[in-house]
Structures are given as C-alpha cells and as structure tokens.
C-alpha cells in the first residue's frame, strides 16, 4: 500500500515537472516567433513595394502622350489595332510621342503587311515576322507577333509550336520553304538563284519573293 502511494506521488511530481518544462519551452518558442514576426512582415512589405515598382516601371525614356492629346488619325489607328488583336503593343504608345515618325513608320508597315502581295496572306506575313524575330532573339517582337499570328492564323497551338521550334512544328512544307527564304534574306546570306528555285518548287513566284 505504501509502495503504491509512493508510486502515485512520484507520478504526480513527474507529471508536474514535465508539464512545467513543456510550458517553458512553449513560452520560449512563442516569444521568439513573435519577436521575428515584425521582420517577416517588413520583408513582405518590401517585396510588395518592389513588385509594385516593377509593375509601374515606364515603358519608355520618353513621355507617353495621353490619348486625349493625340491627333485623331493616330488615336483611330491605335483603337483599330487594339480591337483586332485584343491589346495595344507598346511600340504604338512609344512612337506616338513623335507623330510624323509614327505616321511614316506605320504607313510603311501597312504597305508591307496589309497590302495584298502575291500568294502571301496576313497570317503568312506575321509568321515571317515571328520566325525572323526568333532568329534575331527579339523577345518583344516574338511576344507581339506570336499573339498576332494566333489571331490571323486562328491556330494558337501552331503559334506555340513555332515559338518552340518552327522546323519541327506542324507547318506545311510550303510555309517552311517560305521561312527558309525569309531567314536567308534577314541574315544577309548570299542569296542565289538556288534560293529562288527552292521557292518555285513549292509554287512561289517572283512577286512572292
């Protein structure tokens, strides 16, 4: 009987001792956590401010005019592009700072891309611009013209394939021959009659080239 009482007393002492140690450890960990919490909050705030700063970084060193200050013909062109493609490329916003240069650049662009030229469709021309931009490693042009190629080709999967590796994409032999010729021109290769003969095999003519 006495042994049982001693055992119970020992168990109670051990229980209170363990509970006391556990509470002390819990208090210590909790205090350290709360002391560090303001630092965590501060770091998160710093990250958010940096993220907001990156998002608000200007797209040009030159001022971007407000829409209300733009000439009507430039504003009309911007709205047309945005309506067709679903977004307005930054180059339209940046060049609007110089109205004369803006009109000259996009007049030339419209002649090249919108004019009916041989057998080339608008999608074909966007495809050429996209692949030559990939070769030139111009990430901005790749983003813009891959989006435009999706619109005009109505084939977003093919656009993604082209961006990864156009030679292994589902493009037709006709389209790949067109791109090989375009790359030879853009990379200043020594273009010979053989280049034109390869085009003729796929049904292209002098006007297409």
77-124: per-residue pLDDT in tens? 888 888 877 888 888 888 888 999 999 988 898 888 887 778 899 999
Residue 38 tokens read as: 């303001």
Contacts of 96 (CB under 8 A, 6+ apart): 64, 65, 70, 74, 78, 102
**Strand-pair partners of 117:** 120
Helix (H) or strand (E) holding 25: helix 2-55
Helix (H) or strand (E) holding 146: helix 139-153
Rounded to the nearest integer, the mean pLDDT of the chain is 77
Query: Is the pTM higher than 0.95?
Result: no
pLDDT at position 42:
37
pLDDT at position 20:
58
Cα 101 from Cα 91, distance rounded (Å): 12
At 7, the pLDDT band (50, 70, 90 cuts) reads low
Which architecture, in CATH terms, is 58-100?
A: Up-down Bundle (1.20)
Cα 93 from Cα 78, distance rounded (Å): 8
Task: Give the mean model confidence (pLDDT) for residues 4-28.
Answer: 54
Most confident of 6-15, 45-54, 60-69, 176-185: 176-185
116-201: what fold? AhpD-like (1.20.1290)
Q: Are 165 and 78 in contact (CB under 8 A)?
A: no
CA 40 to chain CA mean position, Å: 31
Task: Give the mean model confidence (pLDDT) for residues 155-175.
Answer: 94
pLDDT at position 174:
93
pLDDT at position 155:
93
Cα 206 from Cα 77, distance rounded (Å): 32
Contacts of 176 (CB under 8 A, 6+ apart): 166, 167
For residue 27, pLDDT beyond 80: no
Per-residue model confidence as pLDDT tens digits over 170-189: 999 999 999 999 999 888 77
pLDDT at position 205:
79
For residue 48, pLDDT beyond 50: no
Q: Where are the domains of the chain?
A: 1-57, 58-100, 116-201
Cα 128 from Cα 121, distance rounded (Å): 11
Task: Give the mean model confidence (pLDDT) for residues 29-53.
Answer: 43
């Amino acid at each position: 009987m006495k042994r049982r009482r001693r055992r119970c007393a020992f168990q109670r002492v051990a229980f209170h001792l363990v509970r006391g140690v556990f509470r002390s450890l819990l208090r210590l960990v909790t205090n350290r956590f709360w002391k560090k919490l303001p630092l965590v909050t501060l770091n998160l705030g710093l990250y958010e401010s940096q993220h907001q700063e990156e998002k608000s970084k200007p797209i040009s060193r030159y001022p971007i005019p407000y829409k209300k200050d733009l000439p009507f013909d430039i504003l009309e062109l911007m709205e047309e592009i945005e309506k067709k493609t679903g977004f307005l490329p930054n180059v339209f916003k940046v060049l609007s700072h110089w109205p004369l240069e803006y009109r000259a650049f996009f007049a030339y662009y419209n002649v090249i891309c919108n004019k009916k030229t041989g057998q080339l469709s608008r999608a074909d021309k966007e495809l050429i611009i996209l692949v030559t931009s990939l070769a030139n490693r111009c990430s901005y042009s790749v983003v813009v013209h891959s989006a435009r190629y999706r619109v005009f080709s109505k084939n977003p999967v093919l656009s993604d394939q082209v961006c990864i590796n156009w030679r292994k994409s589902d493009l037709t032999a006709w389209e790949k021959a067109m791109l090989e010729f375009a790359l030879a021109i853009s990379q200043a290769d020594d273009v010979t009659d053989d280049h034109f003969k390869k085009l003729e095999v796929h049904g292209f003519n002098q006007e297409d080239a």
